[in-house]
A and B are shown apart, each in its own frame.
Chain A
Amino acid sequence: MVGSSQKGVNHGDNLTLHPKTMELRDLLQDRREVILRRWFDVIIKTYPEETSRFLQKEKDQFANPVGHAISEGISGVYEQLFGEIQPEEVTPFLDRVIRIRAIQEFTPSQAIGFMFLLKDVIRQELGEEIQKAGIAKQLVEIESKIDKLALMAFDIYMQCREKIYELKATEMRNMTYKLLERANLLKEIDDGSDQNDLP
């Protein structure tokens, strides 16, 4: 586990391989492609097998909008690991992924859990090097950044859900009944029950 990586600080040859200036952000930059690919892979594994195959294989962004949104979304989010989190910048990227998962068959934790998957991926992909370079502290920083992003993701998730409830509640009123109410003219098949929700 990476948590014990501090012990690995003193390996002599690490110093020659990784000069003192070694930064986790450089590693994250160098290995961007592969980390993003693995992150994408573990996210689409949250879908049934046939579907994750489709999400991965189909490259046309209109034939496979979910796969495309996930891959664009996460690469935008990934950029935030390199500096201060810029909420206006990252929100549209988080939104792209979460807006979809908020209406698919996921629990709230599953819907935003993809953010935490990034931690696993980074540890798996860079764990050893982080240990060797003795930069575990930087990993902790990155991870707390991921936690912050996950909290933002949760807010976005809640906004999406609220939007759905709002659409459910107001759709019919806006579409029809506003006008009918104005005209005060609504008539229904009368069975004594009070119902008023038809297209």
Chain B
Amino acid sequence: MAKPKSTKTPKPDELSKIDYRPPEKQWMEVPVEFKPGTYCYGARPKYLEEVGFPNPREWQPYEDDWKLPDNWKDIVLEGIDDRLKKYRSFRLFMDICVRCGACADKCHFYIGSGDPKNMPVLRAELMRSVYRKYFTASGKLLGKKAGARELTMDVFKEWWYYFYQCTECRRCSVFCPYGIDTAEITIMAREIINLLGCNTDWIAGPVANCYHKGNHLGLEPHTIQSNIEMMCDDIEEITGIRIEPTFNRKGAEILFVTPSGDLFGIPGVYTCMGYLMLFHELGLDYTWSTYASEGGNFGFFTSNEMAKRLHYKIYAEAKRLGVKWILGGECGHMWRLIHQYLDTWWGPADFLEVPKSPITGTVFEHAKSTKMVHVVEFTADLIRHGKIKLDPSRNDHLRVTFHDSCNTSRGMGIFEEPRYVLKHVVNHFYEMPENTIREKTFCCGSGSGLNASENMELRMRGGFPRANAVKYVNEKYGVNMLANICAIDRAALTTLMQYWVPEVEVCGVHELVGNALVMTGEKERTMDLRLEDLPGKEEEEEDV
């Protein structure tokens, strides 16, 4: 795939040179250089064809010729124009930045890379400068003096490079006195870039698969079912209890949807085992669907339209099965979409009922319109009403901290529920420092479709501020487990930890719930959900 560029061999005297800084130039004048490790591969044509995206072709970002249509510039400018008319926030964000710099050093990619074009203000300026040139009187007239510049191929490539170095995490917006959300600028930029078919393979593939088969991996119904059954085998080994979940069952009260990472990825499957055990213990009348088999939505990383198309399957399936409401697993962007976009797209989902916990009777008023509840809200409510028996000492081998995923925290305000659950299922819980959690949380560095492997260096840079805070609690309190409620996090943070803090592992909150959950008729637990011996228990057995 990508040709690694050779690094120049330095002359001996260069080794001790004091200043490696590149010659200072105006940022506008430095064209982007595609360095391996920082970008994702270009999308294969079959994926674009699958969903009718424009300009399907073989291409790679490091190639000179991106094989764009002759009128590419018109397409881009029209794309900007359309969106300026359609989204007031976009025009506002293009106009009102006063370049105060408050956001500049708040982006994890800037903090980790030191590349000034990763400052949110400058990232936005990449597009704003073109906006000024073609859509404002001063820019048309004064050009560069007004911070305006021509749209050229170099500029377009620079957009591509840096708008795929933003995880749409919104951290910068927390610090902007005007509330400018650079994530939204990135979202617009990616839509516009995709008008020319310059998607990444890592995003376009899951989109096509999801459209075709219902989930990112393109897993077929029997695969999903047999993998869940495999998890049930493991649960039986651990607890002695056989769980028989149902699939595509019409008339169930609740439809459960989780990201496909929970079905197949490690450590996602352990989280999934936690859900299975909890629902079994409650005797919940719920069903899995092998069609609405993906909570995540990579369409969101291509365009609003595509996200909308992919999202509908969850509601179509709820309708088909005749369920009352939908319970959703531990996922990140799935919840941002439900919380912020769903009603505009398809809502309100009037054919469903306002979610009401059949166990506690709690009515989830906040989900009145979407009819969808996050499993951590559901579980927190169970604990609050004393409806489940927990033995947190089964997690005593773990010292746990919690990572707020950007989407569930900044995107929709879930802060307390996961902490509440964690504090009831583990005895050792420690927070990371205040300026790295809750609304100021640091991104995993791999969100918004950047969790490919070929851009590993970029991910390690972007994730460094997060890892640094984890390292701190690891050294200070001996933290060895990083819990979260997002499937991308479970995968991405695992890799991040392996590089920065290998002492720390990653889990979903419901894995820890599953460990602590005292189930009716279970045998004495000697293993945790990872099938690893529970410290102390093993010896007890041998002593007998």
Q: In the assembled complex, which residues on chain A have CB atoms less than 8 Å from the CB atom of B8?
A: 107
Q: In the assembled complex, which residues on chain B have CB atoms less than 8 Å from the CB atom of A113?
A: 15-17, 20
B453 x A108 contact (CB < 8 A): no
**Within the complex, what minimum Cβ distance (angstroms) separates B473 from chain A?**
11
B218 x A189 contact (CB < 8 A): yes
**Within the complex, what minimum Cβ distance (angstroms) separates A105 from chain B?**
6
Interface residue tally for chain A (C-beta within 8 Å): 62
B105 x A66 contact (CB < 8 A): no
Q: With the chains together, A54 CA to B103 CA distance in Å?
A: 13
The answer to whether the Cβ of A69 comes within 8 Å of any Cβ in the partner chain is yes
The answer to whether the Cβ of B468 comes within 8 Å of any Cβ in the partner chain is yes
Q: In the assembled complex, which residues on chain A have CB atoms less than 8 Å from the CB atom of B24?
A: 49
Question: Which residue from chain B places its CB closest to the CB of A46 in the assembled complex?
Answer: B20
Q: In the assembled complex, which residues on chain A have CB atoms less than 8 Å from the CB atom of B266?
A: 174-175, 178-179
The answer to whether the Cβ of A45 comes within 8 Å of any Cβ in the partner chain is yes
A164 x B46 contact (CB < 8 A): no
The answer to whether the Cβ of B89 comes within 8 Å of any Cβ in the partner chain is no
B464 x A116 contact (CB < 8 A): no
A60 x B435 contact (CB < 8 A): yes
Closest 3 A-B residue pairs measured CB to CB? A65-B468, A51-B114, A185-B223
Q: In the assembled complex, which residues on chain A have CB atoms less than 8 Å from the CB atom of B35?
A: 105
Q: With the chains together, A191 CA to B117 CA distance in Å?
A: 38
- Label chain B's interface by main secondary structure: helix
Interface centre among B38, B116, B208 (most CB of A within 10 A): B116
A185 x B209 contact (CB < 8 A): no
B16 x A66 contact (CB < 8 A): no
A45 x B19 contact (CB < 8 A): yes
Question: Which residue from chain B places its CB closest to the CB of A124 in the assembled complex?
Answer: B18
Question: Which residue from chain A places its CB closest to the CB of B434 in the assembled complex?
Answer: A62
Q: In the assembled complex, which residues on chain B have CB atoms less than 8 Å from the CB atom of A105?
A: 35, 38, 113, 115
CB within 8 Å for A120 and B18 given contacts A51-B116, A198-B216: yes
Question: Which residue from chain A places its CB closest to the CB of B203 in the assembled complex?
Answer: A199
The answer to whether the Cβ of A128 comes within 8 Å of any Cβ in the partner chain is no
A117 x B226 contact (CB < 8 A): no
B205 x A198 contact (CB < 8 A): yes
Sample 16 A-B pairs with CB under 8 A, ordered by A number. Answer: A54-B105, A62-B469, A69-B468, A107-B8, A109-B10, A110-B10, A116-B15, A167-B453, A168-B456, A176-B264, A185-B223, A187-B220, A197-B453, A198-B205, A199-B205, A199-B491
Which of B133-141, B374-382, B494-502 has 4 or more CB atoms under 8 Å from chain A?
B494-502
